[in-house]
Chains A and B, each alone.
Chain A
């Protein structure tokens, strides 16, 4: 965490239970500093995706407190949620591109949702296409793009609105190692512009490639401390690169 940086996300004793089942997340407490880079790791079923769903406001917790951008989002009125979501960029594991729209249209969507005038859309979308190396595929539909290309379109769509935090769920899960490296490079470039990055991955080889990244480990719905022992709370000032 960068010294003195404000927390953009704060979890306090958060629990999440789907229906009447067991808790998917239990007593999760941590905070994310603005402008920092985090990896969220853990085995399959550890609760990574559930935790991300709480952050990108697809789900409310069963208990506990979540603050984002300085406000309590657990009790946030539903009408205010769209405004918060526009400050969060999300890269889904399954991309969730709209299949009947071109790469260009998919990337332009957040700007249009945000009310940007049509005349001001073309330039940033083309810059973004160039940034992710897809200038030549602007009008291709998702079905005609490779997995890596779709992933890059999804990333471009997530960041074009300059979100304050980018949440990516297994963004390298469908791409080869070379493409994974390129995607991480994109995330680092965005992070340098001040966006907080949270990347959920079970690929531990990625972590050392971002030298200033911090790691949050989940196991069976609980945070795991740096020593590997279960911990209910990640130290607020974890050392950069600390992996559980």
Chain B
């Protein structure tokens, strides 16, 4: 594999090869800079993933539910219309479930605004019917609307998509923002590696010259440095991941205590944790590639 040099490079990864660059392990600020970058990158990626899963749930909710309201001051006529609509829509294709929300449930929903004893006064309350469509159903909404209008032309049909759409838009924007932040962090980490590689080249000028005169190829010299940089990047990446995981767990715990369905839907499943755990490895690979390219390009300017 070209990234790991060619041919006679094995000794470069041995103790003899390590002695060519005498600094101790994790010397310099690079591992800690990478740790900070990785910390922020994992947080951004976690936010993006959690929002992604939340948006997926929201999408299915938006496209699969409507609420029908029958507003009629005459309770008998209202109940009759509601019953007919329930019967008519339940038999339509693409319908998963039809449920009339009971008066007690409606009264409970309205209690914070209208107070208790709603059933005892004369305030007309609309009959409400929740209709859920089967996943992938395309013509269920149109058929339901036609059936409802035939029974009660003044019935109001609320698609959940109407009021969830702005929220879905916000989530989509935040996901993009999280993705851009991850890319920016990765770019910043790569530039940090480039600077570190250039500094290392300057520091070890004599060693590089001697190695060149003895017949070392650019790949051999690059391998010396990329191994060191990969070690630093992996350490920094793991530190960043651990810190970010702690923060995510803490914030997750706080979210769970809020008890909101909407906020609670923002969660990280196991697959997302697997992706986050891969970030330090991806960062290490990125650092190796950045280091190798920097060093090989710098060496190519020499004979």
Contact = CB atoms under 8 A, between A and B. Distances in A.
Contacts of B19: 100-101, 105
Given A96-B209, A98-B207, A112 B217 contact: no
Interface string B192-210: 0000000000000011011
B303 A57 contact: yes
Contacts, number: 66
B210 A114 contact: no
B206 A60 contact: no
Interface in B247-300: 300
A113 B213 CA distance: 11
Interface in A59-105: 59-60, 78-79, 81-86, 90, 92, 96-101, 105
A197 interface: no
Interface size for chain A: under 10, 10 to 19, 20 to 34, or 35 or more residues? 20 to 34
Contacts of A178: none
B213 to A, nearest CB: 6
Interface in B15-31: 16-17, 19-20, 22
Given A78-B303, A98-B206, A112 B16 contact: yes
Contacts of A83: 215
A229 interface: no
A108 interface: yes
A82 B216 contact: yes
B277 to A, nearest CB: 36
A115 B212 contact: no
Contact of A98 (B7, B20, B215, B216): B20
Interface in A116-167: 116, 118, 157, 161
Contacts of B212: 82, 85
Given A100-B19, A100-B22, A85 B303 contact: no
A98 B303 CA distance: 20
Interface in A26-72: 56-60
B218 to A, nearest CB: 8
B16 A90 contact: no
B246 to A, nearest CB: 39
A96 B20 CA distance: 14
A85 B206 contact: no
A168 interface: no
Contact of B214 (A84, A110, A118): A110
A213 interface: no
Contact of A113 (B209, B216, B300): B216
B12 to A, nearest CB: 8
Nearest to A58: B303
A109 interface: yes
Given A97-B210, A98-B20, A105-B16, 12 more contacts: A58-B213, A78-B300, A84-B215, A85-B214, A85-B215, A86-B214, A98-B210, A100-B19, A105-B19, A112-B8, A113-B214, A161-B214
14 contacts: A56-B213, A60-B303, A81-B303, A82-B217, A90-B213, A96-B206, A97-B210, A98-B20, A98-B207, A101-B19, A109-B214, A112-B16, A113-B8, A115-B7
Interface of B: 7-8, 11, 14, 16-17, 19-20, 22, 206-207, 209-217, 220, 300, 303
Smallest CB-CB A-B distances: 8 pairs: A115-B8, A86-B215, A85-B215, A100-B22, A82-B215, A82-B217, A112-B11, A110-B214
